[in-house]
Every structure is written in structure tokens, then in C-alpha cells.
Homo-oligomer: A and B are copies of this chain.
């Protein structure tokens, strides 16, 4: 017996879930979005809102030569070619379309400068005017309200319900769920006439599950994620035979500070201003050690080598362009120094070594070529590092699950035995694996979420109903 019936049930209220809900609703379905937390948006609402777009309007204006194939190649290279080529192709080919959808259909306003993100071969990342993902979540929520899509908070998915043929026909949920009390809430069964879309995110906050996948990721490590980034919904799919992919590839984000918890106030400053326009150095030696615009995996590995103490330094010219600099200074997560001597004294760094490092980098900026580490120095980030100096003390934190359950290009969840779609089950976003392989590059998570969220919602709406399973059938 079922307590309620909808055409499509979406698990999760981030970018992937809400865009899936909108597409399914626009295709004429009744849709329910369930979210286990008290607030919608999950990690999406915490993110910086970066969207990687190939062949974008701003690239045309700036004469930047890009293509979906080039974005795909960057993703494949960072991902160490573990990633699934067909999924990469889908994300990169549809990246322009979902950007226009976000801007024009959702009405999100974007800045008019592209960011050159780590691991990208050209500048191609859009940022919302607020530099927050929350503004995109907000726009999605407004659209859901317009479309009369109920978003049920504190409703946790428990198990996927299948009929005798193996088709997913609904979800067992705990309503009035109080995270993280796993046994809280009232168990109900909700029927999905057409399909269930899993868009439940990653498991960076799930210490037990993440340590099974990678024993290094113990509880001493911080994460940038919201508290609800746990593995239950992913596990519910594995339990019915969804194929696990790349689960051990959990990504560290290199931009976070040791002087505040989690994602914090400074990560966006470091990501948008510090890494492109400044340099990272080892406080132990005063020297650079990596191309600050290479991929996150390479950077984080270099940062966490034994004995390294990574810091980021940006010159005033570039730093002052960042909208949240004042807040970062007030919270003391970015520190300002008028001279290199005061900085070196305050942070116990060899001033002469650091001065030599800056001199060398500033010469590279003059020549437009970083001979030392090959960092791209384009028109958007060719800034010398001159006083006043802005400093961040970095510490990589657990950021993103590259792995998850396998989907095909129609966002259908793939069965581990026959490598065929599990009827009635779709997935999108961080709960899935295959798009990023060993390393996700910046701005591709939101592209992925919106591309596969919309695909999942549109295809779920077309899914044939399971025959012979009346809504009040006890299963």
C-alpha cells in the first residue's frame, strides 16, 4: 500500500534535483521533491556558483577559442582518463545550453568576466554576480514555486521500492525526519508512477563510508560540505544493484583556510583571486612548488607533502577586485601586510627567500610566461604581486565525491549485473560517478548537475509506467 502517489519523485533539492523536478513538471508530470534537511539546497547552496561553459557568449566577446571537445579533453586529462567519455561529452556539449537556461529561463545574473579555473586550458568559468550558488538555488526554488512543485523538507529517502520485475516504483521515506537522528520520522511509502530521480549528493560528511573508500579520509580532516552530505541514498541504490564507480576518488579542495572551519569565507577569495592572480608558496622554504592553475588533485597532493606549509599571497591590485575582501579581512582569514618584512616576521618566513620568489614571479608576469611552473598568464590574470600583500594560510579540505553510481547519457542508473538501465531509476549530480574520474575541474559540477538533472527529469517524465502495479498494491 502506498500513502501517496506522484508521477516523479526527486530525492534531493540541490542543482540536480531541482532542475530535474522542473523538467519533469514542464513535461506535464506531478512531481514531489523530498529533502532530508531543514533547508533546501545542500552543497549547491554553499557552492560558489561557478559554471564551466564551452563556447560561451563571453568567450566570443573575448575571442577565446574554445569548444565542447576542448572542455571534454581538459576533463579527461584531469580525470586521468578514468572518466566515461560519453558522459563527459554530454556535459560539455550541453554546457552552453544550460548556462543560457540558467541566465535566461531562471533569470540568474552573471559577472561579465570569465575565470580561468585550475585544470582548464582557457578561461571559461562564469560566476553569478553574488559569487554564490545560493542565488542559483534561489532561482530554481522560485521556478518550482511557480510550477507548483512541492518541496518537502525533513523527508528522508530510506529505500527504493521495486516491483517483481525489478522496476523502481517508489520510495520508502521518513517524514518529519530530524537529521542526523537516523531513526527519527514516520515511515511512509510514496508511489512514483513513472520514475524516481536520485539527486542526493555526495558523502564527504560520512566519515565511516568515506574511510572505507579511502582510509586516509579520517575524522581529523575537515570538509567544505554541508552536514547532510552522507551516503544513505547512494547506498539505497547500491543495495538494489546500481553499479558503483570511482568511489575512492574523493576530492580535496585546495583553497580552504586553516584559520576557519569548513568552506569558510576565504575559499572564494582564494579560488577567484588568489590562485589565478597570486602565488602559493611553502612557508618552510619561501618557494613556489606548483602551477597554481593546475588541477585540484595535483595541487592538493603537492600541498600535503610532508613538511609543506602552504600559503597564498596576492598583490593589492588584484586582491581589491574581490567583492568579499573586506569581510575576509574582518574575519582575519585574509591578512593584509604593507611590506614583505612585516609579513615574513609575522608568519615566520624567510623574507629573502620569499622576496626572491616574488621577484621571479613578477618577471614571469612581465614576460607573460611562467617558465618555472607553466601557469597560464592570460590577460585576465596577469597581475604582479606588489604591496600591500594579502595572505591566506591554506589547508586542503574534503570537497567532492567524484564517484557514485553509474548512469548512461540518458541519466538512467545502470545495473551492476547486466550493465543495463534499472527501469524507473534516474540519477544526476554528485551521487553519480563517471563524469570526473580521478579529478573534477572547477565549474564542472554545476554544469553536470544542471545538464544531467534536466536530462533525468525530462526522461523520467517519458518513462513507461510499470504494468500491473496498481497504486494500492502491497509490495
Chain A contact residues, CB within 8 Å of chain B = 80-85, 208-209, 212-216, 235, 238-239, 241, 243-249, 403, 406, 414, 416-417, 419, 434, 437
A-B contact sample (4 more), CB < 8 A, given A239-B417, A244-B244: A208-B419, A209-B419, A239-B241, A247-B247
What is the total number of copies of this protein in its complex?
A: 2
Task: Let me know if A212 and B83 touch, CB within 8 A.
Answer: no
Q: Which residues of B contact A80 (CB under 8 A)?
A: 216
Task: Let me know if B406 and A212 touch, CB within 8 A.
Answer: yes
Consensus secondary structure, chain A interface: loop
Task: Let me know if A215 and B416 touch, CB within 8 A.
Answer: no
Complex Cα gap A246–B210 (Å): 11
Task: Let me know if A417 and B235 touch, CB within 8 A.
Answer: yes
Q: Which residues of B contact A406 (CB under 8 A)?
A: 212
Q: Knowing A208-B419, A238-B416, A239-B416, say if A213 contacts B248 (CB, 8 Å).
A: no
**Nearest CB to that of A85 among chain B residues?**
B215
Q: Which residues of B contact A216 (CB under 8 A)?
A: 80-82
**Nearest CB to that of A240 among chain B residues?**
B239
Task: Let me know if A245 and B213 touch, CB within 8 A.
Answer: yes
Task: Let me know if A82 and B215 touch, CB within 8 A.
Answer: yes
Q: Which residues of B contact A82 (CB under 8 A)?
A: 214-216, 248
Task: Let me know if B212 and A243 touch, CB within 8 A.
Answer: yes
Q: Knowing A215-B81, A215-B437, A419-B212, say if A241 contacts B238 (CB, 8 Å).
A: yes
Q: Which residues of B contact A247 (CB under 8 A)?
A: 244-245, 247-248
A48 to chain B minimum Cβ distance, whole angstroms, is 28
**Nearest CB to that of A402 among chain B residues?**
B248
Q: Which residues of B contact A85 (CB under 8 A)?
A: 215
Complex Cα gap A212–B403 (Å): 11
Task: Let me know if B248 and A246 touch, CB within 8 A.
Answer: yes
A449 to chain B minimum Cβ distance, whole angstroms, is 21
Complex Cα gap A419–B207 (Å): 12
Complex Cα gap A82–B216 (Å): 6
A255 to chain B minimum Cβ distance, whole angstroms, is 22
**Nearest CB to that of A83 among chain B residues?**
B215
Interface centre among A80, A212, A241 (most CB of B within 10 A): A212
Q: Which residues of B contact A416 (CB under 8 A)?
A: 235, 238-239
A418 to chain B minimum Cβ distance, whole angstroms, is 9
**Nearest CB to that of A247 among chain B residues?**
B244
Q: Which residues of B contact A209 (CB under 8 A)?
A: 419
Q: Which residues of B contact A417 (CB under 8 A)?
A: 235, 239
Q: Knowing A239-B417, A416-B239, A417-B239, say if A212 contacts B245 (CB, 8 Å).
A: yes
Q: Which residues of B contact A246 (CB under 8 A)?
A: 213, 248
| Leading 8 A-B pairs by shortest Cβ distance | A244-B244, A81-B216, A82-B214, A239-B241, A246-B248, A238-B416, A235-B417, A235-B416
**Nearest CB to that of A406 among chain B residues?**
B212
Task: Let me know if A84 and B215 touch, CB within 8 A.
Answer: yes
Q: List 12 A-B contacts (CB under 8 A).
A: A81-B216, A82-B214, A82-B215, A85-B215, A238-B238, A238-B244, A238-B416, A239-B241, A239-B416, A247-B247, A248-B248, A248-B249
